[in-house]
Amino acid sequence: MPLSYHASVHAAIEFEFRSSAAYSDPFSQIELDVVFSAPNGRIMRVPAFWAGDHEWRVRFAPPEPGVYTFETVCSDRSNAGLHGHTGTVIAQPYAGQNPLLQHGFPQVAPDKRHFQYADGSPFFWLGDTWWMGLCNRLSWPDDFQMLAADRRVKGFSVIQIVAGLYPDMPWRDPRGANEAGYPWSENFEQINPAYFDMADLRIRWLVKSGFVPCIVGCWGYFLPWMGVNKLKQHWRYLVARWGAYPVFWCLAGEGTMPYYLSEDREGDCLKQKAGWTEVARYLREIDPYHHPITIHPTDNARDQVDDPSVLDFDMLQTGHGGYESIPNTVSSIRSAVERAPTMPAMVGEVCYEGILEGSREEIQRFMFWSTMLIGAAGFTYGANGIWQLNNPGQPFGPSPHGSSWGDIPWQEAVRLPGSTQLGLARRLLERYPWQHFEPHQDWITPASIGEHYLAPYCAGIPGGVRVIYVPRPIAAWSPSHWVTGLGAHSTHTAFLFNPKTGAEISLGTIQTNAEGRWRIPVLPLIQDWVIVIDG
């Protein structure tokens, strides 16, 4: 008898099938897909996942209203419990309040410069870094929900989180377990569905809270350990579990970085680069929702693979040295924005707040404002203590190289001020059509050009709004700073934005000179500022 289900557009539904045959290793011995025919004729082949014992499940999120028909396809066609079942899904428009489901899954915008929802409205990537957020050092539900609530209030939209195969520890380290153990058996023979059941609770909570999870499949050095075929299985399982949610895919963390104690670093690097390229092609083939794909890099994502076309956006890692990391960050994002083929570019890791007892709030502000006004598609924050989930009296401890990155508990790190200040920055930009901003260093003098990294940054829309970030104080003894190209003897409205507090100070109507220039006045506090000029 055909099956029938009801669903809302973009909202995942789940239904199950039971195998009529027994297998010693169902996960490895068979595959189950459910082939959906959409109202517009589009065919969506959705992987199902083994849920343990004889149970298989499929999750499906209809991309548009209407009636979908489906049929199950099992690699073992003699399995009457899994193969050849048919049915319908009747999808109604989504009527809830979750913006991720109201607007549709985030995707790369047509201009290849930023992200947008499926309905075309802009999506602002402000990411937070919870690499180890699926382990039990961030307890479920109390700690996880507490951290999510804090980040939601502050304005984050993306959470970077690793699917159980973590950095900074050897495989099967107790620090990487959740309530159900580890995601794979010791020698990677079999996956552990119970681990992913616990992970499901957390991923679903992120989506319910309005975050887009950026799912990092594993750390890059797992590829020599597991091999390409096992990692394809791993990624198929992730797509089956979480592809029906609004997500970004990140192939691996530090994709070409060998394991810390590798005895063949050059060989492992080459193996990882070729392997992740192959896995990326496979992921693109099996994901029916075509979620954007990247890879977290040692430098930039494009150079972690043999063929950049397997990626949809460029992610950068640019250092943890505080002020020392500014030149590399600025020059790297400038290069990434200008490289071909064009794709959204952003910093995915830089100067975790508090790392190495540095990179405090002013560094967070600088990295955000400079990269966004250069043309980045978004920005990713991180706090030392949160990414590795230190707990009071139980810090993460040493990495395999023997040293620890710090012992601040995450409960303290969550209150570091940079996270609040970046949320304020996002809210300011979203008052304007930020997705149409263009970098314009020609609109400000002095300007951050070449190696003048601490000079002002400027972007905006010709004939419209201009946003200027001034990293160094403009005081009575400072050289003159001019905004240029405004039109001779023209008037505009302007205000100052305090990037520490979000307070605004009106400058009223400003008047240009005969050359179309306006001199920025002495600013009220000796710190960095943002200047906004309308018209």
Q: How much of the chain, in percent, has pLDDT values that exceed 90?
A: 98
H helix or E strand, kind and range, residue 362: helix 361-374
Let me know how long the chain is. Answer: 535
pLDDT by residue (tens digit) across 302-361? Answer: 999 999 999 999 999 999 999 999 999 999 999 999 999 999 999 999 999 999 999 999
Q: Measure the CA–CA gap between 161 and 202, rounded to whole angstroms.
A: 10
| Residue 535: predicted pLDDT | 73
Per the prediction, the chain carries an average pLDDT of 97
pTM of the model: 0.97
Q: With contact defined as beta carbons under 8 Å apart, do 272 and 295 qualify?
A: no
pLDDT by residue (tens digit) across 430-458? Answer: 999 999 999 999 999 999 999 999 999 99
| Residue 212: predicted pLDDT | 98
Domain ranges of the chain: 3-92, 123-434, 438-534
pLDDT by residue (tens digit) across 242-297? Answer: 999 999 999 999 999 999 999 999 999 999 999 999 999 999 999 999 999 999 99
Our measurement of the distance from residue 412's CA atom to the centroid of its chain's CA atoms, rounded to an integer in Å, reads 23
Asked whether residue 475 carries a pLDDT value surpassing 90, the answer given is no
Strands 115-116 and 107-108: antiparallel
Asked whether residue 200 carries a pLDDT value surpassing 80, the answer given is yes
The reply to whether domains 3-92 and 438-534 share a CATH topology is yes
CATH of 3-92, one of 3.40.50.300, 3.30.70.980, 3.40.47.10, 2.60.40.10: 2.60.40.10
Which of 120, 123, 101 has the alpha carbon at shortest distance from 10?
A: 101
Our measurement of the distance from residue 86's CA atom to the centroid of its chain's CA atoms, rounded to an integer in Å, reads 36
Query: Tell me, which fold does domain 438-534 have in CATH?
Result: Immunoglobulin-like (2.60.40)
Q: Measure the CA–CA gap between 532 and 404, rounded to whole angstroms.
A: 42
Distances (CA, A) of 147 to 153, 156, 319, 412, 533: 10, 11, 25, 11, 36
Q: Measure the CA–CA gap between 158 and 125, rounded to whole angstroms.
A: 6
CATH number of 123-434: 3.20.20.80
Strands 466-470 and 529-534: antiparallel
Q: Measure the CA–CA gap between 276 and 305, rounded to whole angstroms.
A: 6
Asked whether residue 1 carries a pLDDT value surpassing 80, the answer given is no
Q: Measure the CA–CA gap between 460 and 201, rounded to whole angstroms.
A: 41
Q: Measure the CA–CA gap between 280 and 93, rounded to whole angstroms.
A: 32
Q: With contact defined as beta carbons under 8 Å apart, do 516 and 510 qualify?
A: no
Q: Alpha helices of 316-468 — where are they, by DSSP H?
A: 326-338, 361-374, 410-413, 417-429
Which of 45, 28, 73, 30 has the alpha carbon at shortest distance from 234?
A: 28
| Residue 219: predicted pLDDT | 98
